[in-house]
Amino acid sequence: MNIPEQHTIQCPQCGGIEFEQPQVLNDGDWVTCVTCAQSFPLDDIRQVGLDQAMAVVIPEIKAEVEKMLEGLFKGKFK
């Protein structure tokens, strides 16, 4: 499997990866994309990051499971 250990959150507006944020983040805080200056609630950016990571991880896991199942059942259903 080729899943990266870290994932960079991309701005949903422009794809930028740098955000201005308070020193100490709290749930109600907002972050601002450095590239397009669009501001987002922290909770929204967290969800965007989770969605982006799942878009990478789920296909990798699916391919790995399919490969494992192929190996397990190879030649059993002829």
Asked if the structure places residue 11 within a domain, the reply is no
Asked if the structure places residue 54 within a domain, the reply is yes
Q: Count Cβ neighbours within 10 Å for each residue of 48-68 and write b for 16 or more, e otherwise.
A: eeeeebeeeeeeeeeeeeeee
* Alpha helix ranges (H) inside the chain: 42-73
The boundaries of the domain holding residue 69 are 28-73
Asked if the structure places residue 36 within a domain, the reply is yes
Asked if the structure places residue 20 within a domain, the reply is no
Asked if the structure places residue 39 within a domain, the reply is yes
Asked if the structure places residue 40 within a domain, the reply is yes
Tens digits of residue pLDDT in 8-67: 899 999 999 999 999 998 989 999 999 999 999 999 999 999 999 999 889 889 988 988
Domains identified in the chain, total number: 1
- Could you tell me the pTM of the whole model? 0.67
Contacts of 8 (CB under 8 A, 6+ apart): 17
Asked if the structure places residue 13 within a domain, the reply is no
Asked if the structure places residue 2 within a domain, the reply is no
